[in-house]
Amino acid sequence: MISATVAIQPQFYHLDPMQVVWHGNYAQFLEQARCALLERIGYSYPEMAASGYMWPIVDMRLKYVRPVRLAQTILVEATLVEYENRIKVDYRIRDEKTGELLNKAHTVQLAVSVETGELSFDSPPVLIEKVRALL
């Protein structure tokens, strides 16, 4: 499938009192990788809106394997695993230097018509065409 990877170096404001990245900040890291993936596909958020759909996240799961610390460079890889009825993205967060797995996650997004607010049970043809062009 299609993947994109971003390098991120957590900053002081990402930390909790235990001096590790606060669990809620991982969603921001996933978002950065997901945006890179969507741009690679050619279906970024402005293109989604132009196609008449918004794509809210309806499920997000994270498995914390090891803590991420201040100034530790991490690689966040986002891989598209489903696209015909929903967008499902799997993520792997690894230490840049060692390759050690630090976090596993996935998100699920559903297509909702901007005009009517109705849920679509099929992905719009524009997304399917863009993904298939890259496969």
Residue pointed to by tokens 């699920």: 108
- d(CA 24, CA 3) in angstroms, rounded, equals 23
Domain ranges of the chain: 3-134
66-106 pLDDT tens trace? 999 998 999 999 999 999 999 999 999 999 999 999 999 99
pLDDT attached to residue 89: 98
What's the CATH number for 3-134? 3.10.129.10
Confidence of residue 128 (pLDDT cuts 50, 70, 90): very high
pTM for the whole structure: 0.94
Reading the block at residue 94, the tokens are 């690894």
In the block, tokens 């008449």 appear at 52
